Amino acid sequence: MSPNALSFVFCRASWIVAEVMAGRSLAQGSLDRVAAAARPATREMVYGVLRAHGEGDALLAPLLQNRPPAQIHALLLCAVYRLADWPDAHTVVNQAVEAATGMEQGRYKGLVNAVLRNFLRRREALYAGLTAENRWKHPDWWVRRLQAAYPDAWQDIVEVGNQPPPMGLRVNVRKTTVADYLGELQAAGMTAKAAGECGVTLAQPVSVERLPGFLEGRVTVQDIGAQRAAFLLCPEPGSRVLDACAAPGGKTAHLLERYDLDLTALDIHPARCRQIRHNLDRLHLSARIRQGDACRLGVKETGERFDAILADVPCSASGVARRLPDIKWLRRPEDIARFARQQAKMLKSLWQALRPGGKLLYATCSLFPEENGEQIRRFLAQTPDARLTGEEQWRPDAQHDGFYYALIESEH
């Protein structure tokens, strides 16, 4: 990246980081407003800064008498992050100062210059002064929950959560095989390995445009852990299936690639329903797409019962925080109880739409027991005709993100 390009990336990245600090999710499309040529570098910087939750603030605190305006503070976070790996530190400082000329009428150019040069002089001592909490790069309340839930594994979970996620692919078995697709990747100069029955993990992430056969529907980007849902639900051919909270349609598509089904994909948001349609069209798959609230779903609303239901419920997303690093900044401790209440309401609603003898797969991308095992134990205690037949907690590691699955069957 040229020095001038670095200045532009600082401007865009600091603006987006400041938005997240103010409560705006990356899912609201901030990166989409960045010029295409600068988007990859901007994304890398934004994600890197957000993934390092708390560390940048701790490094800057001894260097600042007062907290500057939001975008200037975000610019300093971006610059400190970039100084960790840029070979020419003075170029980073100069380009950060150049970026500051377009912020707050340029009043903070001198501050940015002084703080970053002071940081370079004191860098070794500043890093040595970081506490264990700062090095975890997770909110304190988050770490305490992990410690309680995973007393022997929480440090591994935290360390993995601070790394960039792997890029998993799902091979469309209606169009090709894993072995053949690995050959296509090798021919395209990409290193990859098989993961599970239809998964592939890339050694290095690439843009989807570079993936052989992506536009033709031979492959989809999907975490290996997320691919587990279709295999666990395993609906009978021809059965009536509901994918609740289906957007963006990854699990919907996987079910249709694996099985011949009468499938309904449900989501509450019209725009997300259109996203499901777009993804199914690329894969040449067909399903009924309905806009609706899974918390208010029953026989009266649907006029039918389903043989199998995938309840991919809203959750804290604590298992995918390295992939969605703004989550660590936006979540609050009280959010977990709020999600748990919503999940319980959704489970009760969806159970009413399941036929006797049918099965429901409850799925989250959470690591917190309140949303997972504890939620299911409460549901089973309140639902006499429900029987747990399978349960899996996937902790994030180098191969996949964190997920929870519980397969529940309705007794006749």
Q: What are phi and psi of 293, to 5 degrees?
A: -100, 115
Give the whole-angstrom CA distance, residue 68 versus residue 104.
Answer: 10
Q: Strand (E) positions, 76-217?
A: 167-171, 192-195, 199-202
Measured in whole angstroms, how far is the alpha carbon of residue 141 from the centre of its chain? 20
Range of the domain at 196: 167-221
Q: Is the pLDDT of residue 301 over 60?
A: no
Strand-pair category, 192-195 with 199-202: antiparallel
Tallying the residues shown for the chain, one arrives at 412
Q: pLDDT tens across 15-60, in order?
A: 999 999 999 999 888 999 999 899 999 999 999 999 999 999 999 9
Question: Within a 13 Å sphere around the CA of 254, how many CA atoms are in the beta-carbon half?
Answer: 29
Cβ proximity of 307 and 235 under 8 Å? yes
Please check whether residue 339 lies inside any domain of the structure. yes
Domain boundary among 98, 115, 137: 137
First vs last C-alpha separation in the chain? 63
- Residue 173 is part of a domain; what is its CATH number? 3.30.70.1170
Among 78, 198, 295, 365, the active-site one is 365
Q: Domain check: are 365 and 349 in the same one?
A: yes
Beta bridge partners of 263: 241
- Residue 84 is part of a domain; what is its CATH number? 1.10.940.10
Active site residue 198: no
Cβ proximity of 90 and 116 under 8 Å? no
What is the domain count for the chain?
Answer: 3
Q: Domain check: are 309 and 368 in the same one?
A: yes
Q: pLDDT tens across 187-233, in order?
A: 999 999 999 899 999 999 999 999 999 999 999 999 999 999 999 99
Q: What are phi and psi of 133, to 5 degrees?
A: -60, -40
Q: Domain check: are 242 and 214 in the same one?
A: no
Cβ proximity of 112 and 96 under 8 Å? yes
Please check whether residue 31 lies inside any domain of the structure. yes
> For the chain, what is the mean pLDDT?
94
In one letter, which amino acid is 305? R
Give the whole-angstrom CA distance, residue 44 versus residue 36.
Answer: 13
Q: Is the pLDDT of residue 5 over 90?
A: no
Please check whether residue 45 lies inside any domain of the structure. yes
Q: Domain check: are 191 and 210 in the same one?
A: yes
Which of these, 189, 193, 194, lies nearest to 211 by C-alpha position?
A: 189
Please check whether residue 147 lies inside any domain of the structure. no
